[in-house]
Structure 1
Amino acid sequence: MATTQHYLWAAGHFLLLLCSLRFFLAKCMFRDVSAFWYKASFTGALVSYAIVCQKSLGVPQPNAAWIRRAMLDENVQYFLLALFWWTSRPVTLALLPYAIFSLFHALTFTRTTLMPQFLPPGPPAQQGAAPTPHPLAKKLQVWVKANYDNAMRAVAFTELVIMARVVVGALTFRISLISPVIYAHFLRQRWYQSKFTREAFATVHARILAFVNSPGKPPVLAQVYNQAAGLASRFAGSSLGAPNGAAAGAGARRQ
């Protein structure tokens, strides 16, 4: 049976999803939009992730072991990043990974908690067995399972694009100069914890290498990129590391 905390968790995802959709639509139509919708989106994220973090880590403990465990938790990482975005100048793309996570969580909550309250169950698979889910709920479950991996790949590539966006924004003084540093640390942890992020890095790296080494390109281009890639590799190598069995990046999990 769903608890109040579970409903609050879901409410955070629905708030994020609806407000980010409002913000995205305005941006896509080149209309001015209040930063309220941006902050409301990340408020929803903070609510959902705070609940998940509390459930998985319990009451904060003033010791190094608890802090280390918290910093290695992907939900804590997304919570802290959401807090950073909430306090920073709006970066539209920053909403997209959270919105994708929330879409899947909202659909799952709808299927498992809301639909059974309004839709009658289907007939049992065999006599004496439990009723089957409503056909609409079953279709929703199939869609979520079929599209989950592709959605996580989209998140991984989007997070790399966000890195480029914050670097450009910092160089043009449109956002804080510390933003690339904070986001680079976040991506470093994602690389260790998410196979989708590693795949995205490998794909982008291969395409850039093919471009800089293609005929007609000045050799200095490849040299500069190789040096930059080497620096990035050394930076990633100093990561805290991922705990055993780290998840592939699913955002605030269902509670």
Structure 2
Amino acid sequence: MSDNTSTSENSERPSRRLNIDALKLHVLSHKIDVALWAIRIFTIIFTMGYFLPIFGTAHSAYYKALLSNAATSALRLHQRLGTVQFNRQFLAQLLLEDSCHYLFYSLIFIYVAPITLVLLPVVLFAILHSASYSLTLLDTLGQNAWWGARLLISIVEFQSRNILRLISFTEIVLMPLCVVLVLMGKAGLLTPFIYYHFLIQRYTSRRNPYTRNMFHELRILFESTAAKPTLPGFLRQALLAIVSFTSKLAPPQVAAAAPPQ
């Protein structure tokens, strides 16, 4: 009797820990979401391969990370907009999508010499979104599945606001860096102009206000720094000139948007 009881308990424990059948059913019913998750994992792996080129070269891993980000953005656009339509309304809606912005982002830098900073927004978005969906997969497997992974996911989600702020700061810093790359001969003459339009799209994003907020925070920082009496005059003039020049390039103010979901 005791042997039968222990046997039945042992047979129940794996099913409680890992519900493989539920996972298979989830994958079959959410193919696009799972594909997005898998591609984002590859983006993280390729980015790691850029810094630690164990398999292949760093150069190859860099462009694979950008291509996987482009694939993620294209698949996300298909998920949100459906079939492509050749009309003005569809084009306008396409340009409003954050996924379209980062599809352009990948296309901009795929023709530029490798820049480490370019991969930062790509890998941070991949970590942020893959962590969120990894929790869904773990919940499908069972509530007690892989507590260590759940701990890492909770850390990412807790820092999500700071991660999005870091992404927006990187987007802004890359603008003057593009100009420097042109002067160094590592980018084409059109790269800064194309990236400027990308930055305008990020600034006017309806679902992600972080780039717009970061511009505002940087303006306050520069103006408060310039107002310090101990700051040398030439630095004060330089900071105010940067603020004035950036303000002239900024698009018209848009209504505040809700954080990205």
TM-score normalised by the shorter chain: which range applies? 0.7 to 0.9
Select which of 156, 159, 171 maps to 1:144: 156
Select which of 166, 185, 205 maps to 2:178: 166
Which TM-score applies when normalising by structure 1?
A: 0.76
Q: Is 1:232 the counterpart of 2:243 in the alignment?
A: no
Any conservation in 2 of the 1:111–1:140 contact (CA below 8 Å)?
A: no
Partner of 1:205: 219
- Number of aligned positions between the proteins: 229
- How do residues 218-229 of structure 1 correspond to structure 2 at under 5 angstroms? 218=233, 221-223=235-237, 225-229=239-243
Partner of 2:127: 103
Coordinate RMSD, CA, aligned: 2.9
Return the alpha-carbon distance in structure 2 between the equivalents of residues 57 and 68 of structure 1: 12
1:167-199 CA deviation, whole Å, 9 max, x = no partner? 211222221222222222222222233332233
Select which of 44, 49, 55 maps to 1:22: 49
Distance apart, 1:39 and its partner CA: 1.0
Distance apart, 1:93 and its partner CA: 0.7
Which TM-score applies when normalising by structure 2?
A: 0.75
Structure 1 outlier segments of 4+, above 6 Å: none
1:65-105 CA deviation, whole Å, 9 max, x = no partner? 11111111111111111122223322221111110111122
Q: Is 1:56 the counterpart of 2:80 in the alignment?
A: yes
Any conservation in 2 of the 1:163–1:183 contact (CA below 8 Å)?
A: yes
Select which of 32, 38, 61 maps to 1:37: 61
Partner of 2:115: 91
Return the alpha-carbon distance in structure 1 between the equivalents of residues 152 and 116 of structure 2: 28
Return the alpha-carbon distance in structure 1 between the equivalents of residues 46 and 137 of structure 2: 22
Amino acid at match of 1:19: F
Which of structures 1 and 2 has the bigger CA Rg? 2
Relative to total residues, which structure has the larger helix share, 1 or 2? 2
- How do residues 244-255 of structure 1 correspond to structure 2 at under 5 angstroms? 246=257, 248=259
Q: Is 1:180 the counterpart of 2:192 in the alignment?
A: yes
Return the alpha-carbon distance in structure 2 between the equivalents of residues 172 and 141 of structure 1: 40
- Cα distance change of structure 1 residues 245 and 113 upon mapping to structure 2, 3 Å threshold: farther
Return the alpha-carbon distance in structure 1 between the equivalents of residues 99 and 258 of structure 2: 10
Q: Secondary structure at the match of 1:237?
A: coil
Higher relative contact order (CA 8 A, sep 6+): 1
1:46-74 CA deviation, whole Å, 9 max, x = no partner? 12111110111111211111111111111
Q: Secondary structure at the match of 1:87?
A: coil
* Unmatched segments (≥5 aa) in structure 1: 27-31, 123-132, 251-255
Amino acid at match of 1:78: Y
Partner of 2:38: 11
Q: Higher mean Cα deviation, 108-117 or 97-106?
A: 108-117
Any conservation in 1 of the 2:66–2:106 contact (CA below 8 Å)?
A: yes
Tell me the percent identity: 23
Return the alpha-carbon distance in structure 1 between the equivalents of residues 120 and 173 of structure 2: 11
Any conservation in 2 of the 1:8–1:47 contact (CA below 8 Å)?
A: no
Return the alpha-carbon distance in structure 1 between the equivalents of residues 258 and 43 of structure 2: 22
